[in-house]
Chains A and B, each alone.
Chain A
């Protein structure tokens, strides 16, 4: 019984979450040994709405993103502008893939894209990570 409980708890933690707090997100990422996907968005950018309506809410994309700790930041916020500057983010929507252990960006993709393109890009990033499920 105890083993089942441990497995269940482990599984629930293993579904990487969606954070809007950088500190929290990075902590979980380091603890779970997972890479991070920063999602930079803007308040009134129709291309972000496009990503959120046509790409990020699709099952297959969500499944891929579950391999990452997603940290979602409004680019105008303090954390958002700080981290956008760090990565040289040109605008929104931008997804930056990041390895917190090596403090290294694994890739970045700017602009609203078709779902297939985003999936392909994430697959490319996955090859540079240690994740078997990616």
Chain B
């Protein structure tokens, strides 16, 4: 390959790389990624996992109809604006969101959710400084039937 051709090729390759991230949301974004983009205004991959959030959920759920989940955090509630719950593989990944205030005393929310199949459950906190942090847990949902 002569030098000119090589430069031309690498220029094309570089252009391809820089266009790629902008194209990414349009191609193959999962329903979860779309919902997060829509409701939070950021991309899922921009949200970091945080050990300061404790997401409690069963590893194996007896019934997909009633999966107990609890979200707590050591992050002071005065620094937190909102809490979101998502289930990756549900037809509608957004489950609920909770606005918190200093009157709550702490970051805490507990409820029971529906899951269509084995999937990640995510608790995402929106902080007052505009950043997001998250905890993820996979919950296995077993197939079931009534005899």
Contacts and interface: CB of A to CB of B under 8 A. Distances in A.
From B89, B118, B143, residue with most partner A Cβ within 10 Å: B143
Interface string B107-122: 0000000101110000
Contacts of A48: 146
Q: How extensive is the interface on chain B, given as a class? A: 10 to 19
From A50, A110, A115, residue with most partner B Cβ within 10 Å: A50
B146 A50 contact: no
Interface in B60-89: 63-65, 89
A46 B145 contact: no
A46 B65 contact: yes
Contact of B114 (A42, A45, A53): A53
A45 B147 CA distance: 9
B91 interface: yes
A93 B64 CA distance: 14
B107 to A, nearest CB: 30
Interface residues of A, number: 23
Contact of B143 (A42, A90, A94, A113): A113
Contact of A50 (B64, B91, B147): B64
Given A49-B65, A50-B64, A55 B116 contact: yes
B105 interface: no
A45 B116 contact: no
B144 interface: yes
Interface of B: 63-65, 89-91, 114, 116-118, 143-147
